[in-house]
Amino acid sequence: MTPSIDSTSLYGTLNLLVLGAVRDGPLHGLAIARAIHRRSSDVLSVEEGALYPALHRLERDGLLEAEWGTSENNRRAKFYSITPRGQKHLEKESARWLRHVGGVRGVLGAKG
Amino acid sequence: MGRGRDEGRDIDPGVGDEIRFHLDGRIEELMQGGMDRAEAEAEARRLFGDPERVGAECTAVHREQRRREERRARIDGLRMDARLVLRGVRRNPGLFVSIVLTLGVALGAVTSLFSVADRVLLRPLPLPAPDEVVYLWQNDRVTGTVREPAGTADFFDFRDRTDAYQSVSMFTLSSQSIVLGGEPRFAATLQAEVGLPEVLALPPRMGRWFTSEDGGHVALLSESFWQNEFAGEDVLGATVTVGGVPHEVIGIVPAAATSVTGPVDVWTPTGVTATTATRNPHLARVVARLRSADALEAARTELAELAALMEIEDAANLNRGVFVEPVAEFARGNVGTTIQVVFGATLLLLLIAAANTALLLTARAESEERPTAIHSALGATSTRLARRGLMEAALFVGVSAALALGVAAAGIRAIGWLVPPSLADQALSLDVRTIGFALLIAIPLTAAFALVPAIRARGRDLQRSLGHAATGGRSAGRGRAILVTAQSALATVLLVGALLLGVSVHNLMNARLGFETESIVRMSLVLGDVDYPRDFAVYPELTEVLTFQRELLDAVERIPGVAAAGMTTNHPLDAGFTNSISIEDGSVPAGVGELASRMVTPGYFETVGSQLVAGRWMDRGRGTADAGEVLINRTAAEVLFPEGEALGRAIGFWGAGFREIVGVVEDEAFAGQRVEAPPAFYTNLFQTPAVRDPLVLMARTNGDPLDMVPRLRNAVRAIDSDIAIYDVATMDETLRTSVARERFAGQLVTIFASVALVLAGVGVFGVLAYMVARRRREIGVRLVLGARPDQVRRWVVLRSLRLVLPGIALGLVTAVGAARLLDGLVFGLSTRSPAVYGAAAVVLATAALLGASLPARDAAATDPGLSLRNDG
């Protein structure tokens, strides 16, 4: 099993991943988890117990909005989509994260 | 995740569904991967983490979100209400401004006066256990005086022969010239017995009190004198010369002491001992601290018994009783009435203002009926409407209260300027208690105004539910009429009060005084015992005093512009001292006590414009070597010689032989206009020179008396530059000050009455304008049917009288009762004077007619065609 990112560490990172996952359209919780796993080329998988509280907090804070709808297999599910505020937050935080990673890579890269 | 596990964890159903969907999805996925259902379920749960815990966490977040949304909705609701209220204000700015002004001014006035009432009536004295501190006055059963200082010997008797007090002490008051690092100036001085600080139970502000080891040459400065003159610098150890004698400053007296001693500048030790104490003169103010506040009655009994004993023991104590009075009561006593009157008047004013506001609000509520109905139809609940009403009332009252505090701050400063010192000797300020009082009134006002629309709405609903069409218009009109009637009643009461006080002040100022006040100036001079010794052993040959008197009068009479000049021990509005007398070859009739004794130069009578009733004036040429002459006033002549001639008889006093009565003068009202002039005798200062300070110089001038003051000062200084001059005033000003209490009350009540009158007039205007508007059609019909415009006008005007006449009647009746409050202040007329009440009624009726004039004109100008065409 690939190492998982849980809610206690890198909490902000989880939010970022979630926002990134719904960037292109509304998804329900299960789909978000799968999307993160897939798009990270299976590197990252989310502990599902952390995901739902994160989704609800993002909704509470206005970065996501939610709507009940029908899933692909015709069942009632709650779909989350990004809000303009969430979009702004995503852009700002991902830029910061990438800068951070770049810096780390620079240090590690220098060692060869 | 079984249902059973949901119970006891209180998980939001939506959250539960969401998690179940996720788990089911995972389970399917795992089963597709080859697990069976049970394995898949277990694995799914394992992958998920504890669903119950997650569910609870999500529910918590969800709930918090819902709370936030509710809060936002509430705030939005409040904001919308606020916007509607503000819009209502913007639509009707005149209404808002008039309400705020009316309420603000009235509330401000009440608040200012509360600060006075609070400071004077409600607060306890700034002493420890203030109810224990009492004055021990002597009284004179014959002259009827109730509060007299005691003789110094009496003090020792009071102290040593009673049990009821923790501590007894005394002080005397004087005016002396002092020098403290500069030129001589006048100061009010106090001579304290060493136990005085113990009675006050106050620590010195700085330094220390006297002790019995100190000897006589120490002094304390009062706190106010110290602050004013030295701005709080350290003056301990400095030397102050009092009456020519150097004293060392050892401490500062705290300001709280003035609540017992009155305002003074310098304390020195009294120097009186049990052996040097005398029964006369009565200069000692005895003050004591009871063992407990409820021991007052027992103390009174004990002291009465002692006084009776003292009367038997010493003839000097004949007819003297004692009167124990708590200092707190004395401080409140003569002021209480005035304060109550004025405070009552302001409360009336506030009532009128509130009534006016209610009138205006109901008027507005009517015009708001349609918008309110629309709001209701659109779903505004009655709570929302009530909340809006409350917000609006809070806005009105809040802004009014802010204005009121401003008015109060200015009013307090104005009052401090208007109020005679006898009413409030401490600085008034807008303090916490006063602001608290203002809020205390503002809150019920808010509630009352908020209820106005609510009551109306309820009344309307009730009528509707009973099946009647809402007759809001007519009943509201009646309600307003009642309010205007109430306003008229209150305004009438205030008017009666203002008229009574105004006439009283006029009477007081013009009462027959027995002397003139125009163009006369007086000043008090402090000679000092060092340069002008007053040794009783050689009396009346006080050479220095006699020479000074002669030289000064000669100099002053030579000043151009001075028509006449004289000197006296007491100016004509100063009650002064009394003395017992005896009659040569006769006896003083029973019931006659002491006479007021006044020493004057012969020129005094011309200066103050006295009138001679019989005999002649004093002889300008007489001196100490000549036979003694004396004048008595009319009352003394009637009282001492009821059956015969006073001229030629002789009276004796001061144990110094008899003097011939050479003339009788008209009474001077030196005890004030309110009492009968006391019997008095006048001796010639050139035969009986002044024995104590101050000596009063008086001058009648041809022009403005104040212009003469510098020249008079120079004349004094030219003879002796060490003499302190103080209390310089014209007699006109002195007269005005003597009626200061009545003037103050009168001015305030007049202001209030004027405001009340205006408000009543405005109220009448409002009601009639509304009535005319409502009955426009009816007026049109009348005009069409042949009524003349002036008949219409008269009809409107008569309606106004119908509105206010019951109010006036009610007000007059109330005023009869309320005027009893003014009993102590009114002078020269009865509190039930029909002329006053009639005048008040006429004035109010006139105000009503004025208020009706515009609506009357408007009604008369109705175009019948237009009014009939428009539908109501």
- Which chain B residue lies closest to A4 (C-alpha atoms)? B47
Instruction: Give the tens place of pLDDT for each residue, B541-586.
Output: 888 999 999 999 999 999 999 999 999 999 988 878 888 888 888 7
Please tell me the predicted confidence (pLDDT) of residue B378.
64
Averaged pLDDT, B369-389: 67
The CA distance from A53 to the nearest CA of chain B, in Å, is 5
Task: For residue B61, list chain A residues with Cβ-Cβ distance below 8 A.
Answer: 53, 56-57, 60
Q: How confident is the model at residue A81 (pLDDT cuts 50, 70, 90)?
A: very high
- Do A60 and B25 count as a contact with CB atoms less than 8 A apart? no
Task: Give chain A's largest Cα–Cα span.
Answer: 53
Grade residue B454 by pLDDT with cuts at 50, 70 and 90: low
Pairing label, strands B680-684, B650-652: unpaired
Q: Does B56 contact chain A (CB < 8 Å)?
A: no
Predicted confidence at residue B643, as pLDDT, reads: 83
- For B295-324, the pLDDT digits (tens) are 899 999 999 999 999 988 887 777 788 889
pLDDT at B456 over 70: no
- What are residue B134's DSSP bridge partners? B288, B326
pLDDT of residue B631: 94
The closest alpha carbon to B372, from B465, B472, B272, belongs to B472
Angle among Cα B49, B54, B59 to the nearest 5 degrees reads 170
Judge contact between B728 and B709, C-beta under 8 A: yes
Residue B296, C-beta contacts closer than 8 angstroms, at least 6 positions apart: B134, B290, B324, B326
Confidence label for B656 from pLDDT (cuts 50, 70 and 90): confident
Q: Which of B15, B47, B68 sits opposite A48 (nearest CB)?
A: B47
Cβ separation of A75 and B65 shorter than 8 Å? no
Q: What is the DSSP letter of B633?
A: E
As a whole number of angstroms, the distance between CA B583 and CA B653 comes to 9
> What is the value of ipTM here, to two decimals?
0.84
C-beta neighbour count of B205 within 10 angstroms: 19
Least confident of B334-343, B624-633, B787-796: B334-343
More confident residue, B870 or B614: B614
How confident is the model at residue B382, as a pLDDT?
67
Distance (Å, whole) CA A6 – CA A51: 9
- Closest approach of chain A CAs to the CA of B80, in angstroms? 23
Beta-carbon separation of B14 and A47 below 8 A: no
Q: Is A4 on the interface with B (CB under 8 A)?
A: no
Residue in A closest to B24 by C-alpha = A30
Q: Is B66 on the interface with A (CB under 8 A)?
A: no
Could you tell me the pLDDT band of residue B637, with boundaries at 50, 70 and 90? very high
Chain B residue closest in CA terms to A61: B65
Higher-confidence residue of B535 and B430: namely: B535
The DSSP secondary structure of B246-269, one letter per residue, reads: EEEEEEEE-GGGHHHH-S-SEEEE
Residue-by-residue DSSP string for B765-816: HHHHHHHHHHTHHHHHHHHHTT--HHHHHHHHHHHHHHHHHHHHHHHHHHHH
| A75 → closest Cβ in B15, B21, B48 | B21
B541–chain A Cβ distance below 8 A for any pair: no
A52 at the B interface (CB within 8 A)?
A: yes
Q: B453 Cβ partners below 8 Å, 6+ apart? A: B361, B365, B368, B372, B385, B389
Whether B15 has its CB under 8 Å from any CB of chain A: the answer is yes
For residues B376 and A32, what is the distance between their CA atoms, to the nearest angstrom?
A: 47
State the Cα–Cα distance between residues B571 and B575, nearest whole angstrom.
Answer: 8
Across the interface, whether the CB atoms of B18 and A29 are under 8 A apart is answered yes
Picking from A6, A73, A76, A49, the residue whose alpha carbon sits closest to that of residue B1 is A49
Positive or negative, the Cα torsion across B271, B277, B281, B282? positive
pLDDT, position B148? 82
Maximal C-alpha separation, chain B:
149
Tell if the CB–CB gap between A47 and B62 is shorter than 8 Å.
no
> Residue B312 corresponds to which amino acid?
I
Torsion angle in degrees (nearest 10) through CA of B851, B856, B857, B862: 140
Q: Which residues have C-beta within 8 Å of that of residue B857, sequence separation ≥ 6?
A: B793
- Give me B558's structure tokens: 């030579």
Q: Dump the DSSP string for B181-226.
A: SSS-EEEEEEEE-TTHHHHHT---SEE----TTS-S-EEEEEHHHH
pLDDT in tens, B252-269: 999 888 888 888 899 999
Q: Which of B57, B66, B72 to mutate to test the interface with A (most CBs of A within 10 A)?
A: B57
Chain A residue with the nearest C-alpha to that of B28: A73
Q: How far apart are CA B103 and CA B107, in angstroms?
A: 6
The pLDDT of residue B462 = 60
Distance CA A6, CA A8 (A): 6
Distance between CA atoms of residues B783 and B849, nearest Å: 22
The Cα B173–Cα B282 span in angstroms is 11
Task: Identify from B15, B43, B58 which residue to disrupt to test chain A contact, counting A C-beta atoms within 10 A and taking the largest count.
Answer: B58
**Taking 70 as the threshold, does the pLDDT of residue A5 lie above it?**
no
Asked whether the beta carbons of residue A57 and residue B61 sit closer than 8 angstroms, the reply is yes
Confidence of residue B836 (pLDDT cuts 50, 70, 90): very high
**CA nearest to B322, candidates B146, B585, B540, B80:** B146
d(CA B303, CA B295): 12
Distance CA B359, CA B760 (A): 11
Q: How far apart are CA B81 and CA B88, in angstroms?
A: 10
Distance of CA B140 to the CA centre of its chain: 31
How many angstroms separate the CA atoms of B757 and B747, rounded? Answer: 15
- At B667 the pLDDT is 92
Predicted confidence (pLDDT) per residue in B802-828, tens digit: 888 999 999 999 999 888 878 777 888
Q: Tell me which residue has tokens 């300008």.
A: B620
For residue B130, the 8-state DSSP code is: G
The answer to whether the CB of A44 falls within 8 A of the CB of A37 is: yes
β-pairing, B658-665 vs B629-633, is: parallel
Chain-chain contact of A30 with B26 (C-beta, under 8 angstroms) = yes
- All residues of chain A having their beta carbon less than 8 Å from the beta carbon of residue B62 are 56, 60
Residue A2 has pLDDT above 50, yes or no: no
Average of pLDDT values for B338-365? 75
For chain A positions 77-96, those within 8 Å of chain B (CB to CB) are: 77-78
Mean pLDDT of all residues in B130-147: 82
Mutate to test the interface with A, among B45, B50, B54 (most CBs of A within 10 A): B54
Q: What percent of chain B has pLDDT over 70?
A: 89
Decide if B57 and A77 are in contact by the 8 Å CB cutoff.
no
Lowest-pLDDT range of B161-165, B232-236, B358-362: B358-362
Look over chain B and give the mean of its residue pLDDT values, rounded to a whole number. 83
Residue B170: φ, ψ to 5°? -150, 165
The predicted model gives B520-533 an average pLDDT of 86
pLDDT, mean of residues B502-531: 86
CA B170 – CA B176 distance, rounded (Å): 19
Q: Pick from A5, A15, A56 the residue to mutate for testing the B interface (most B CBs within 10 Å).
A: A56
**Closest Cα of chain B to A6: distance in Å?**
11
Residue pairs spanning A and B at CB distance below 8 A = 60
**Between chains, do B61 and A71 touch, taking CB under 8 Å as contact?**
no
Give pLDDT, residue B333.
Answer: 67
B437-450, pLDDT tens digit by residue?
Answer: 877 887 787 777 77
Which residue is associated with the tokens 């032989």?
A: B657
Phi, psi of B630 (to 5 degrees): -150, 150
Tell me the C-alpha distance between B723 and B713, whole Å: 10
Q: How far apart are CA B611 and CA B677, in angstroms?
A: 15
Our measurement of the distance from residue B621's CA atom to the centroid of its chain's CA atoms, rounded to an integer in Å, reads 51
Q: Is B62 on the interface with A (CB under 8 A)?
A: yes
Q: Please list every residue in chain A whose beta carbon sits closer than 8 Å to the beta carbon of residue B22.
A: 28-30, 33, 48, 52
pTM summary value: 0.61
How close does chain B come to A52, measured CA to CA in Å? 7
Q: Which of B14-28, B178-192, B637-651, B674-688 has the lowest average pLDDT? A: B178-192
What residues of chain A lie within 8 A of the CB of B17, using their CB? 76, 78
Q: Residues of B with CB below 8 A from A56's CB? A: 15, 58, 61-62, 65
Answer whether B180's CB lies under 8 Å from B241's CB: yes
Polymer length in residues for chain A:
112
In percent, the amount of chain A with pLDDT more than 70 equals: 85
Is B61 in contact with A28 (Cβ distance < 8 A)?
Answer: no
pLDDT tens column, B217-246: 999 999 888 888 888 788 898 899 887 788
Q: Which residues of A touch B16 (CB under 8 A)?
A: none
Contact status, residue B252 vs residue B226, Cβ threshold 8 Å: yes
